[in-house]
Amino acid sequence: MKVGILAYQGGVDEHRYMVVEACKELSISCEVVNVVEKHSASNIDALIIPGGESTTILKLMKRFGVDEVIRKSIENGLPVMGTCAGAILLAKRVKDLKTGRVLQGTLETLDMLVIRNFYGRQRESFEIDLDIQVLGEKPFRGIFIRSPAIVEVGQGVEVMARYGESYVLVRQGKVFASTFHPELSGDTRLHKYFIEFVKR
Amino acid sequence: MERLWNTHIIEVGFDKIVEFFYRMSEVADKLRQEGLYFRYGPERLPEIIRIPERGTLRVKYGFPIFQKYGVCMDVTNVEQALIAEEAGATSVMVLDKLPYDVRSSGGIARMASINRIREVMDNVTIPVMAKVRIGHYMEARILEALGIDMIDESEVLTPADEERHINKWLFKVPFVNGARNLGEALRRIYEGASMIRTKGEAGTGNVAEAVKHMRTLMNEVMVLTFMSPEDRMKKAREYGVPYELVDLVSHLRRLPVVNFAAGGIATPADAALMMWLGADGVFVGSGIFKSQDPHIRAEAIVLATSMWWSPDIVLEAQSMIDEAKSMMGIDIRKLKPEELLQVRGV
């Protein structure tokens, strides 16, 4: 299996580590590649969009025309997991809490409204144990760093986990988005779930 | 293009590094409960967290992870901050004066005006950092209360304590500190820094010192990995940090926290050079807003930092700027010893 990670900026190496660990545990042979240019964006079995600054990643992605390639691949059934900034980039509608600014030109594949910096600044960043039914009884440590929130989802979007009034893990078709950072938790269950989903 | 040193390869997960620091403070934690010890480590967490826990080690060490391969830019007002955000900066550092002006104006350099910082915080969506004087707990408390995203305990400002740094474990907000070598870096990490940057020589537009500091640090890390345990013990005593921390570094073959380059970076090529030398990202101070082409230069440096490994893209970035418009710069050899900023806070 060939897993691509959008590698302009942010937690790229941390995701690579978790994908490799998850595949080891599942005894699946896998290759992890960095996606940065058009040719590296095609020919992959799955894509991970890591956390980082969404404005930075979006700008670089557009510069290289990679957003178009990814949008098409998703239409053709490419499984994608976006975490934090990745969730922002996948969303149809994005707004910033404080400045009210709308972020335009995202991949617009997941039918949801995402509010950037929803929980506040770094001071308000937090850890909490989440209940994610598909991962079993044991709670999953959610690490939220200046994280956005999913506040509205369209029909056809499955909510997999929530925190308070907001949604933190959702799925539409083959596209997953989390507002927390599973790659920092040391818990490979979500990565394993995604890889097994891709395999199916 | 390959890195000079494979500092980006992660063979030990983020969580195991965090666990290491929690474990290290476990004994002290127990002793403290008996009233025997001063807090010098992270506070332990409950097994299950049902009410949000803020300012934890995962959150503090995690914040810089999402700055990796990015550029933090020094700005002095909202207008510059918006230019930086538009150009793709991953964060901004608010100052009253750019390091170059700190140098030329002389006098005491202190924390930036609160109103200036607040204004920037209200107008950009990316993280905002600010500097405090070395050892100035109250400037740091003020910025923490203001809600700044990261504090730079910086040698660019005039030190408030000439012999001690802030005990950063006492804060919920993450700190970044400068270092010229592995000893300085590990002492800062042991004091609770969540991120390290090279000191370089700020405000000179000369990357030579940043190169020297990054190479020194990386060399010292590599040397550790081949050392006998006895020699590592000796190193730990020399550095003034626990043996376990030295051992962790030799095992990771890199610093356990994110490590940026700073001090004198002025062009896309400078940024790419620092990335090749093993930096996780860069801070650009005077280099952008002391040049004649800040808009395009900011964008070019972002591009070169993210894609430093591709000569074609670095060429593209470098062609966006005009060398005639680069900041003039200062020859470090012409500075008097007392004008060097990097010797502050060892």
A84 belongs to the catalytic site: yes
- Give the gap in angstroms from C-alpha A7 to the nearest C-alpha of chain B: 8
pLDDT tens digits for B240-268?
A: 999 999 999 999 999 999 999 999 999 99
In this prediction, residue A179 has a pLDDT band, given cuts at 50, 70 and 90, of very high
pLDDT, mean of residues B18-28: 87
Q: Cβ contact (<8 Å) for B66 and A145? A: yes
Q: Looking at the complex, does the CB of residue A83 fall below 8 Å from at least one CB of chain B?
A: no
Residue with tokens 């405090």: B132
> What are the residues whose beta carbons fall under 8 Å from the beta carbon of B28, sequence distance 6 or more?
B37, B39, B40, B41
3-state secondary structure at position A41: helix
pLDDT value, residue B26: 83
pLDDT tens digits for B105-135?
A: 888 999 999 999 999 999 999 999 999 999 9
> What are the residues whose beta carbons fall under 8 Å from the beta carbon of B343, sequence distance 6 or more?
B155, B337
pLDDT value, residue A125: 97
**Residue B177 main-chain phi, psi, to 5 deg:** -130, 155
Q: Which of B15, B56, B67 sits opposite A186 (nearest CB)?
A: B15
Positive/negative CA dihedral, B323, B324, B327, B332: positive
- Residue B236 contacts residue B245 (beta carbons within 8 Å): yes
Q: Is the pLDDT of residue B326 over 90?
A: no
- Residue B15 contacts residue B61 (beta carbons within 8 Å): no
pLDDT tens digits for B192-201?
A: 999 999 999 9
In this prediction, residue B277 has a pLDDT band, given cuts at 50, 70 and 90, of very high
Which long-range contacts (C-beta less than 8 Å, at least 24 apart) are formed by A37-44?
A: A37/A64, A37/A66, A38/A64, A38/A65, A38/A66, A38/A69, A40/A4, A41/A4, A41/A66, A41/A69, A41/A70, A41/A73, A42/A69, A42/A73, A43/A2, A44/A2, A44/A3, A44/A4, A44/A73, A44/A78
pLDDT value, residue B327: 82
What is the four-CA torsion angle of B180, B181, B187, B192, rounded to 10 degrees?
A: 70
pLDDT value, residue B42: 86
ipTM of the complex: 0.96
**Residues of chain A numbered 153-192 and touching chain B (CB < 8 Å):** 181, 183-187
What is the four-CA torsion angle of B242, B247, B250, B254, rounded to 10 degrees?
A: -50
pLDDT value, residue A54: 96
The β-bridge relationship of strands A110-116 and A149-153 is antiparallel
Residues from chain A contacting residue B58 (CB–CB below 8 Å): 127, 143, 184
Q: Is the pLDDT of residue B33 over 80?
A: no
Q: What Rg do the C-alpha atoms of chain B give, in angstroms?
A: 20
- State percent of chain B over pLDDT 70: 99
Strand-pair partners of A152: A113
In this prediction, residue B288 has a pLDDT band, given cuts at 50, 70 and 90, of very high
**B55-339 has which fold?**
TIM Barrel (3.20.20)
Query: May I ask the CATH class of domain A2-199?
Result: alpha beta
> What are the residues whose beta carbons fall under 8 Å from the beta carbon of B334, sequence distance 6 or more?
none
pLDDT value, residue B34: 78
- The mean of the pLDDT values for chain B is 93
* Catalytically annotated residue among A15, A23, A84, A191: A84
**Residues of chain A numbered 12-71 and touching chain B (CB < 8 Å):** 12-14, 16-18, 21, 36, 51-53, 55-56, 59-60, 63
In this prediction, residue B27 has a pLDDT band, given cuts at 50, 70 and 90, of confident
pLDDT, mean of residues B27-52: 81
b/e sequence A33-48, b meaning 16+ C-beta within 10 Å: bebbeeebbeebebbb
Using CA atoms, how far apart are residues B130 and B117, in angstroms rounded to an integer? 8
Q: Is the pLDDT of residue B333 over 70?
A: yes
Strand-pair partners of A114: A94, A150
Domain boundaries defined on chain A = 2-199
Using CA atoms, how far apart are residues B13 and A15, in angstroms rounded to an integer? 10
Using CA atoms, how far apart are residues B48 and B336, in angstroms rounded to an integer? 56
Using CA atoms, how far apart are residues B1 and B228, in angstroms rounded to an integer? 32
- Residue B112 contacts residue B130 (beta carbons within 8 Å): yes
Q: Looking at the complex, does the CB of residue A88 fall below 8 Å from at least one CB of chain B?
A: no
Of B5-14, B239-248, B274-283, minimum mean pLDDT range = B5-14
Please name which of A14, A104, A102 lies closest in space to residue A59, comparing C-alpha atoms: A104
In this prediction, residue B43 has a pLDDT band, given cuts at 50, 70 and 90, of confident
Using CA atoms, how far apart are residues B73 and B99, in angstroms rounded to an integer? 12
Torsion region of B284: left, alpha or beta (phi above 0 gives left; psi -120 to 50 gives alpha): beta
Of A95-104, B224-233, B308-317, B327-336, minimum mean pLDDT range = B327-336
pLDDT value, residue B31: 77
pLDDT value, residue B129: 98
pLDDT, mean of residues B141-168: 97
- State percent of chain A over pLDDT 70: 100
The β-bridge relationship of strands B91-94 and B71-75 is parallel
Please name which of B261, B254, B189 lies closest in space to residue B218, comparing C-alpha atoms: B254
pLDDT, mean of residues B269-279: 97
b/e sequence B41-57, b meaning 16+ C-beta within 10 Å: bbbeeeeebeebbbbbb
Higher pLDDT, A170 or B6: A170
Q: Cβ contact (<8 Å) for A146 and B55? A: no
In this prediction, residue B102 has a pLDDT band, given cuts at 50, 70 and 90, of confident
pLDDT value, residue A98: 87
pLDDT value, residue A17: 96
Using CA atoms, how far apart are residues B53 and A145, in angstroms rounded to an integer? 12
**Residue B208 main-chain phi, psi, to 5 deg:** -55, -40
Q: Is the pLDDT of residue B294 over 80?
A: yes
* Other Cβ atoms closer than 10 A to B207: 24
A183 belongs to the catalytic site: yes
b/e sequence B287-323, b meaning 16+ C-beta within 10 Å: bbbbbeebeebbbbbbbbbbbbebeebbebbbebbee
Residues from chain B contacting residue A84 (CB–CB below 8 Å): 66
pLDDT value, residue A138: 96
A30 belongs to the catalytic site: no
**Residue B278 main-chain phi, psi, to 5 deg:** 110, 5
- Residue B283 contacts residue B178 (beta carbons within 8 Å): no
**Is A161 buried (19+), middle (13-18) or exposed (0-12) by CB count in 10 A?**
buried
In this prediction, residue B36 has a pLDDT band, given cuts at 50, 70 and 90, of low
**Is B173 buried (19+), middle (13-18) or exposed (0-12) by CB count in 10 A?**
buried
pLDDT value, residue B37: 66
Residues from chain A contacting residue B70 (CB–CB below 8 Å): 9-10, 52-53, 56
